[in-house]
Amino acid sequence: MKIAIVRQRYNPYGGAERFVERALGALAAEGAEVTLITRSWDGAPREGFKQITCDPKYSRLLGGRSARDRSFARCAQAEMAKGGFDITQSHERIPGCMIFRAGDGVHAAWLAHRARVLSLPQRLAQGISPYHRYVLGAEQAMFAHPALKAVICNSQMVANEICHFYGVDRSKLPVIYNGVDTAVFHPGLVDEFRETTREKLGISHRVPLLLFVGSGFERKGVPQLLRAVAKMKRSETRLAIVGADRKLGAMKTLAAKLGLEKRIHFTGPLKDVRPWYGAADGFVLPTLYDPCPNAALEALACGLPIVTSTTCGAQEWVRAGENGWVVDAVDVAELADRLDDLAALAGDAKSRAAARASVEPLTLPAMADRLLVLYRSLG
């Protein structure tokens, strides 16, 4: 079987990229001939698959992101057409692919959720943005294209959104959850990392430590999270924020204005987050929109109860009061209350066991098996 997988760029911290790497490995192990069509995959593992580089020129001044994505889409469409592939799977919104993996969710849904925190001028700017108009057009054209046979959704939330916004038949929307390496992310990280990680920051083992992991601070709710921490009754609680973002400086300034300098720890981007999973008592991701964040699944696998939002695909695994809570991402008062509840679970063995149990079926082999079943049905 000849399979082409399309992803424009590699980000070492990106969940979509990790999915692609895992899918490539599973397919190669099955003897499939896998080709990656990409603009840039520098720094990523290269073993087990071929690579076609699509890096056409585009005008950064006149077209910006729209021109970049449009130029890559045209090049990728040409490579898919001439490659003689049995299956073409795109992780970008490119009309003409056989399979689309909606790992980034539905752009129309993201814009609707984002509008909730924008001012009127910002909402107007979003509505006339050439980039957003291009993405919405590409999204609509892709979902309506006759070549599309299946859309891999990584949560029930995403499948529901595709039905709602684009009317795609539910039979075309298999839900294949992200796999988590339960041997790498596990409750034993507490014994390995808790004491040493906390010592570096001078955090007592008795102080609740909550953890946020993610890049894209606006989308993942960091401004609301900081305001909620400032409203917590358990004022001794600390929060670690792990991730890269161009607004890191602005978030540090906001934390200072809220009087949180001694309670918030910004680590920047980290390739290995396991020490923080081991050091933390709970995980929080009040995201405005996230289809199915790997970080939330990793945290649950490590035995961390979580607080996330109604616009996050990981809500499927949360049982209120057992392994966490689900809140409205923009309700700061409710978020503060749930953070207090989460901090109160520090050291609670029952909630940690419930967190781990909720994602134990989501192994990498299970994900690979479901992918292979889908490919065989279409190939």
Question: pLDDT tens digits, residue range 316-347?
Answer: 999 999 999 999 999 999 999 999 999 999 99
pLDDT tens digit sequence for 223-258: 999 999 999 999 999 999 999 899 999 999 999 999
Contact 179, 173 (CB under 8 A): no
* pLDDT of residue 28 exceeding 90: no
Confidence tier at 289 by pLDDT (50, 70, 90): very high
Give mean pLDDT, residues 75-98: 94
17 shares a domain with 113: yes
Sheet strands (E) in the chain: 2-6, 33-38, 50-53, 87-90, 99-101, 150-152, 209-213, 238-242, 264-268, 282-285, 306-309, 324-327
The domain total for the chain is 2
Give the pLDDT score at 29: 73
Give mean pLDDT, residues 54-78: 89
Give the pLDDT score at 47: 63
105 shares a domain with 194: no
Work out the number of other CB atoms within 10 angstroms of the CB of residue 261: 10
pTM for this entry = 0.90
303 shares a domain with 223: yes
Q: Determine which helix (DSSP H) or strand (DSSP E) holds 223, and give its type and residue range.
A: helix 222-231
Confidence tier at 51 by pLDDT (50, 70, 90): confident
CA end-to-end distance (rounded Å), the chain: 7
* pLDDT of residue 16 exceeding 70: no
Confidence tier at 368 by pLDDT (50, 70, 90): confident
Tell me the Cα Rg of the chain: 21
Residue 161 lies in a domain: yes
Give the pLDDT score at 15: 62
210 shares a domain with 309: yes
Work out the number of other CB atoms within 10 angstroms of the CB of residue 258: 15
Confidence tier at 90 by pLDDT (50, 70, 90): very high
What is the rounded distance in angstroms from the CA atom of residue 122 to the CA atom of residue 316?
Answer: 31
Q: Which amino acid is at 148?
A: L
134 shares a domain with 51: yes
133 shares a domain with 107: yes
Give the pLDDT score at 11: 63
331 shares a domain with 371: no
Give mean pLDDT, residues 182-203: 95
77 shares a domain with 163: yes
Find, among 348, 299, 306, the residue nearest to 325 by Cα.
306
Q: Which amino acid is at 216?
A: G
Residue 184 lies in a domain: no
Give the pLDDT score at 244: 86
87 shares a domain with 71: yes
Give the pLDDT score at 12: 57
What is the rounded distance in angstroms from the CA atom of residue 343 to the CA atom of residue 202?
Answer: 18
CATH of the domain at 229: 3.40.50.2000
Residue 353: which domain range? Answer: 189-359
Contact 6, 92 (CB under 8 A): yes
Q: What angle do CA 317, 93, 59 make, to 5 degrees?
A: 130
* pLDDT of residue 20 exceeding 70: no
Give the pLDDT score at 13: 59
Backbone φ and ψ for 81, nearest 5 degrees, come out as -70, -35
234 shares a domain with 303: yes
